[in-house]
A and B are shown apart, each in its own frame.
Chain A
């Protein structure tokens, strides 16, 4: 469905994405994780045909796409989209005119659910409300591939909860490929099925969220007793403080030596360790 072959995107001397090869075929909610500047937005823009790759191919449904041959089944409105400064209902109307498959009813429902004032002009909305509107437009588009770039940025906890419900409902009614890029890792775990971690322009991890739940854990103890057993395990990070070591491991649990307990670590810790790794204080 979506296929990137050795895609590199450079802005001047900076490589935002470095020879990325990835294929997304199944209908799922994918979560794209990465630090600021890791290249998440760039990746999404490439898939949507909003920018061109410096080298490599981006293919949607086996067709190579670029900014002139934009894919017709991908919908991406960024968070910081600069819309016309008109009423929300006019923006929704405009979006529906530019897209035959737009689900107008769904959009109207969501506007009510999120207490967005239809008559408010775009620029008068708070950043969180703008993000909500753009997310809603993306989901209502009914396209086969929907990209959401940090959809919950600026939303309070209650709104975020509503968003995850909205996301899951939308997916249930219309299973498709939804890629959500976010910082709020543990929350998205409730909805996303697969996780991709982007770091410094490369995809450093890809697996289902369940897998991480099963295989990511930490073992803590004195450095003397922990160090020896680490050789046989896939260690993704460790912390050594005050004579103790906390080792973060991504491996089969059955391989934990007897006498040691593996404590499950949340997605956030998993992510931090994948990206950062080791910290040593005496």
Chain B
């Protein structure tokens, strides 16, 4: 499963050039973000708004969906190999996660400086408690979480249409619908979320996210072997 860096980068480039739906959706969301700021500043809403940067998360969620559902097939059709696709997609997610993480923090910082005292700015970086650890750690924490999300969505998307895809869907729905109401199970869920997001120990958060990412992506190899593209 060696990586052919040049080919992987080519695949990544192809993916970036062919993610128009993802870009459109994200831009649309960003416009909502802009509207939020304007509405807030002009007094339409009370003194708080959801920061624009949060909407960039949409890119992290939509990109894997389109990469797996549309681009995979087309890259295979051009005699691309599955391993090139595997590593190429990973490069895509690393770049997207870094970009979104960086941008989100920068937007928050700028907003903080500009409107800090006057308004309350809702940004996940703050809510998740990452901002407290300084910009660099915050960037790494957000990056780790985002790439976990990307790989998770990628994996979920790529197994759709097969029996294990259905099984996973049902399992996830079952977990969400049953774990939340039942107390003890909800606590389990909260512990899990604690580890990967709200963790006060930044290094543990980063490590747990990255380990999960690697684990899920390794499992992807099994799926990729079987996944047809026609």
Does A touch B (CB under 8 Å) in the complex?
A: yes
The answer to whether A68 touches B221 (Cβ under 8 A) is yes
Contact status B79-A52, CB under 8 Å: no
Q: Are A84 and B74 in contact (CB under 8 A)?
A: yes
Tell me which of B6, B7, B74 has the highest count of chain A C-beta atoms within 10 A of its own C-beta. Answer: B74
**Secondary structure type dominating chain A contacts:** loop
Contact present for A50 and B76 (CB under 8 Å): yes
Assuming the contacts A68-B1, A82-B74, asked whether A99 and B79 have C-beta atoms less than 8 A apart, the reply is yes
Beyond A52-B226, A98-B7, whether A75 also contacts B18 by CB under 8 A is no
Q: Are B77 and A77 in contact, with the CB atoms below 8 A?
A: yes
* Residues of chain B within 8 A of A157, CB atoms compared: none
A77-89 vs B: 1/0 string, CB under 8 Å? 1100111100000
Mask, B1-23, CB within 8 Å of A = 1, is 10000110011011000100000
0/1 interface trace, chain B 68-83, chain A, CB 8 Å (1 if under): 0000011111111111
* Chain B residues positioned under 8 Å from A77 (CB to CB): 77-79
Q: How far does the alpha carbon of A95 sit from the alpha carbon of B6 in the complex, in Å?
A: 14
- Residues 65-121 (chain B) with a chain A CB within 8 angstroms: 73-84
Cβ-defined partner of A70 (8 Å) among B74, B83, B228: B83
A117–B5 CA distance with the chains assembled, in angstroms: 33
Minimum Cβ distance to chain A for residue B137 (Å): 37
* Interface residue SS majority, chain B: helix
How many Å lie between the Cα of A204 and that of B98 in the bound state?
A: 57
In the complex, residue of chain B having the shortest beta-carbon distance to the beta carbon of A48: B79
Query: In the complex, which of the residues B1, B10, B224 contacts A98, with contact meaning CB atoms closer than 8 Å?
Result: B10
Inter-chain contacts of B7 with A (CB < 8 A):
98
The one of A75, A81, A94, A100 in contact with B14, judged by C-beta atoms closer than 8 angstroms, is A94
**Please, how many angstroms separate the alpha-carbon atoms of A100 and B81 in the complex?**
13
Residues of A close to B228: CB separation below 8 A: 51
Chain B residues within 8 Å of chain A by Cβ, number: 26
Contacts A52-B225, A68-B1, A68-B221; A83 near B74 (Cβ below 8 A): yes
Tell me the complex Cα distance, A64–B6, Å: 24
Instruction: Note all chain A residues with C-beta closer than 8 A to B76.
Output: 50
Q: Enumerate A141-165 residues with CB–CB distance to B below 8 Å.
A: 141
In the bound complex, CA of A68 to CA of B79 (Å): 13
A70 touching B81 in the complex, CB below 8 Å, given contacts A52-B225, A98-B10: yes
Distance of B87 from chain A, by nearest CB (Å): 12
B229 nearest in chain A by CB position = A50
Residue A67 contacts which of B6, B14, B77, B224 (CB distance < 8 angstroms)? B224
Q: Which of B128-144 contact A (CB under 8 A)?
A: none
Q: Write the nearest CB–CB distance from B10 to chain A, whole angstroms.
A: 5
B83 with A83: CB separation less than 8 A: no
Report if A76 contacts B (CB, 8 A).
yes
Q: Which residues of A contact B73 (CB under 8 A)?
A: 82
Partner of B77, one of A72, A82, A100, A141: A82
| Chain A hits for B78, CB < 8 A | 77, 81, 83, 91, 94-95, 98, 137
Given contact pairs A68-B82, A70-B83, A78 touches B77 in the complex (Cβ within 8 A): yes
Within A4-51, the residues touching B (CB, 8 Å) are 48-51
Taking A77-B79, A141-B79 as contacts, is the C-beta distance between A66 and B74 under 8 angstroms? no
Contact B225 A83 (CB under 8 A): no
Q: Which residues of A contact B18 (CB under 8 A)?
A: 84
Query: Is there an interface contact between B79 and A66, defined as CB atoms closer than 8 Å?
Result: no
Q: Does A97 contact B (CB under 8 A)?
A: yes
* Contacting residues, chain A, for B79 (C-beta < 8 A): 48, 75-77, 95, 98-99, 137, 141
With A and B bound together, what is the CA distance between A141 and B78 in angstroms? 11
The residue on B at minimum CB distance from A134 is: B77
> Which residue on A lies nearest to B221, using beta carbons?
A68
Selected contact of B225 from candidates A68, A72, A82, A100, CB within 8 Å: A68
Task: Name B's A-contacting residues (CB within 8 A).
Answer: 1, 6-7, 10-11, 13-14, 18, 73-84, 221, 224-226, 228-229
**14 further contact pairs, Cβ within 8 A, besides A67-B82, A68-B1:** A50-B76, A51-B228, A68-B83, A68-B221, A70-B83, A72-B81, A77-B78, A81-B78, A82-B73, A83-B77, A94-B78, A98-B11, A98-B79, A98-B80
A-B contact pairs, 12 of them (CB 8 A): A68-B221, A70-B83, A72-B81, A75-B79, A82-B73, A82-B74, A83-B74, A95-B78, A95-B79, A97-B13, A98-B10, A100-B6
